[in-house]
Amino acid sequence: MKRSGIILAILFLGIAFNGFSQTAAPADFFAGKWEIVIFGTPNGDSKMVTELIRKDGKLTGELKDPTGQNPEAFPLTNIVEAGNKVTLYFTAQGTDVNLDLEKVDDDHLKGSIMNGMFDATGVRVKP
């Protein structure tokens, strides 16, 4: 009887310890490196890479051509997060552009650019 009481006490302590332990903070989903494809532009499908970095609580970054054909990077002028959605703002050829993306799963995004003018997808680039 004494042995079963000790086992029962250890079991309860284990449950209590797991119940009161702090859970880890949720991962910063949008931060990281992403390959983005914009479909059906006048110049064909456009591929870009961005690395979103959180600084002082806000995401920052720039869009780059991964092929190197266009060496000029597009600095992101604003990034707005809303739950599972993010909007990246930048200027290209003198035009203010918005890229809306929504979480599909842990490694994929879908959305559009210029308020639905062209479809876009994003895939997380794994290190």
Domain chopping of the chain, boundaries: 32-124
Residues 6+ apart with CB under 8 A from 125: 32, 33, 34, 35, 49
Q: Which CATH number is 32-124 given?
A: 2.40.128.120
Distance CA 63, CA 5 (A): 63
pLDDT over 90, % of the chain: 68
pLDDT per position as a tens digit, 84-97: 999 999 998 899 99
Distance CA 32, CA 29 (A): 8
User: Full-prediction pTM beyond 0.85?
Assistant: no
Cβ(75)–Cβ(64) below 8 Å: no
